[in-house]
Amino acid sequence: MRTAKWLKYSVLLVVLPVTLMTAQIVRSAYHHEGQDDAALFLQVYPDRAGTKLDNCNLCHSGGKSGTKDVGSCQYCHDVTKYGTALPSDGYRSTLNNYGVDYQQAGRNAAAVKAIENLDSDGDGYANKIEIAANRYPGNALDDPTKVPAPSRVFTRGQLEKMPQHTQFMLMNTTKSGDFYAEYSGVTLEKLLKKLVLPSATGIRAISPDGFAQFHPLYPDPDPSRYHVFGTYPAATFYYNQEADMDLNPCGWCEYKAPSVTGRVHGDPISNRQGLKTILAITRDGQYLTPGVLNASNKLDGEGPFRVVPPQKIPGPPDQQKPIPTGCVATTLWPFDPNGDRNAGYSARTVTIIKVEPLPEGTTDVDTLEAGWPYADDLNPRVMIYGAIDPVPTIKEKLASLSSTLWHSDKSTFTHWGYRSALATRVNLVEKWVMLGWYSKAVYDLKGHVLIRTDGCTAGGAVDRDDWIADCEFQKQLYWSVNEVLVLLDIVN
């Protein structure tokens, strides 16, 4: 089923299953301030506006920032110190192979066109084919033979109906000031435990500015890797006037949160259910401030959701580094280079959670790198995709396929009765999936649906076994069925 023979035909057909089977998400792309490359790309490929290719990730790669895995935007920011300290090769070290080819060809609209027949990432598919299929031409792991991974979208309202977990905690930073706060939300363990596949090893919490923070599912000895499942050790509340930012101009910890009231130095910090990594919805009883890009193109705010782990190695709010001008090093809680800085590993404005590794035959979902539209305070959402139960996605795709067939014109079929016969067979497949009979679902899709829609894809024209006379419509259905089969392979 996953052969490349179909590439001889119209590359446009590769995009059609996504349009046919998946509700399109209204997007506003994140374009870097002061650059025209995205606009130049869209001059050549205007139909890619708003897709995952309409983003910095098209030409830039993510990488390591210290011990953190970060997305393309944050990686570029770190390498170039937000454009203030370019490395010797400028931005080139942040480019993927497609970005390098584009730059070498002249970095203009003509360059985009000139490299369309190259295979920049070496995965066997020309750039123009990957772009038509909405796949990254600079990422060899993202090619047209793969289908979008299973996904689920949760609204804030849905998350609030789940059991809520509230915990008071220290958020320890390096240089921006520590603070105590009470976060409430859903534990990631509760949210993901029944959703992830046995093959899942961790998650990547992704923010709209490209920042991506990895968390292993289970406890890891690395102090900078905050686990998802299980509890964290109880901590202690630390207070001293010297550290209090409201009482001392050289203080470094904020104690003004309502949840601090009544606490005294030495009080234990614990929770009856244990301290957990949570997908936070509120901070001290208020919705998290929605994340936005400020005038410096940096992320401000925390919301709508923040992945918040407690400290793995509980400690005090130590003095920040560098020490502010006019202040001196403290002997109270001096800066600890090995201190547990959980705030730095708490991704803000999380709108997508990628469960890794992606199942075989799948690729990233069709959304921007971190989903700015999901950060909308009027309808905040979070998407979870990757190594998760594919059955809900399979059901959605089959329901959409069934609706498409039932509402299609009978004249599209080689016989007026074939529309009903094909749609009824898809409805039967839906029943097998509902019952968990995945082998029967695969058998019926391959033996009674796919063979009725394969002529145009395999031979370029309708054959005598086909039930659909229109080649373009037939190709849409063929690749939509193929998507379902790839997803069924995950559970079958």
Bridging pattern class, strands 63-65 and 306-308: unpaired
Closest among 252, 302, 313 to 278, alpha carbons compared? 302
Is the pLDDT score of 76 beyond 60?
Answer: yes
> Please, are residues 236 and 268 in contact by the beta-carbon 8 Å criterion?
yes
The encoded tokens of residue 358 equal: 């992606």
**Left if phi > 0, otherwise alpha if psi is -120 to 50, otherwise beta: which for 124?**
left
Upper half-sphere CA count for residue 484 (Cβ side, 13 Å): 32
Mean pLDDT of the region 294-309: 89
CA–CA dist 59, 105 (Å, integer):
13
Per domain, the residue ranges of the chain are: 26-144, 154-386, 391-491
330: CB partners within 8 A, 6+ apart: 242, 243, 319
For residue 1, the model assigns a pLDDT of: 34
For residue 113, the model assigns a pLDDT of: 96
> Please, are residues 368 and 27 in contact by the beta-carbon 8 Å criterion?
yes
Closest among 398, 486, 395, 438 to 147, alpha carbons compared? 486
Q: How many CB atoms lie within 10 A of CB 106?
A: 12
Query: What are the pLDDT digits (tens) for 95-153?
Result: 999 999 999 999 999 999 999 999 999 999 999 988 887 889 999 888 888 888 999 99
Mean pLDDT of the region 151-165: 96
Q: What is the mean pLDDT of the chain?
A: 87
Mean pLDDT of the region 39-61: 85
Which SS3 state, helix, strand or coil, does residue 70 take? strand
Is the pLDDT score of 35 beyond 70?
Answer: no
Query: What are the pLDDT digits (tens) for 247-286?
Result: 999 999 999 999 999 999 999 999 999 999 999 999 999 9
For residue 17, the model assigns a pLDDT of: 37
The encoded tokens of residue 467 equal: 């039930």
Which SS3 state, helix, strand or coil, does residue 14 take? helix
344: CB partners within 8 A, 6+ apart: 173, 174
For residue 14, the model assigns a pLDDT of: 37
Burial class, 5, CB count within 10 angstroms (exposed 0-12 / middle 13-18 / buried 19+)? exposed
For residue 133, the model assigns a pLDDT of: 78
CA–CA dist 318, 331 (Å, integer):
10
10: CB partners within 8 A, 6+ apart: 475
Mean pLDDT of the region 455-467: 88
- Tell me, what amino acid is at 48? R
Upper half-sphere CA count for residue 270 (Cβ side, 13 Å): 7
The number of residues making up the chain comes to 492
207 pLDDT tier (thresholds 50, 70, 90): confident
- CA distance between the termini of the chain: 15
User: Above pLDDT 70, what percent of the chain?
Assistant: 87
Is the pLDDT score of 13 beyond 50?
Answer: no
Is the pLDDT score of 377 beyond 80?
Answer: no
Weakest-pLDDT range from 20-34, 38-52, 124-138, 211-225? 20-34
CA–CA dist 45, 55 (Å, integer):
13
Within 68-179, where are the H helices? 72-80, 97-104, 109-114, 127-132, 156-160
For 352-403, give the secondary structure using H, E and C.
EEEEECCCCCEECCCCCCCCHHHHCCCCCEEEEEECECCHHHHHHHHHHHHH
21 pLDDT tier (thresholds 50, 70, 90): very low
Query: What are the pLDDT digits (tens) for 219-252?
Result: 999 888 999 999 999 999 999 999 999 999 999 9
Which SS3 state, helix, strand or coil, does residue 311 take? coil
Closest among 125, 132, 114 to 10, alpha carbons compared? 132
- Tell me, what amino acid is at 318? D
Is the pLDDT score of 462 beyond 70?
Answer: yes
73 pLDDT tier (thresholds 50, 70, 90): low
For residue 82, the model assigns a pLDDT of: 62
For residue 40, the model assigns a pLDDT of: 93
For residue 15, the model assigns a pLDDT of: 36
For residue 20, the model assigns a pLDDT of: 37
Structure-token match 């749609």, residue found = 423
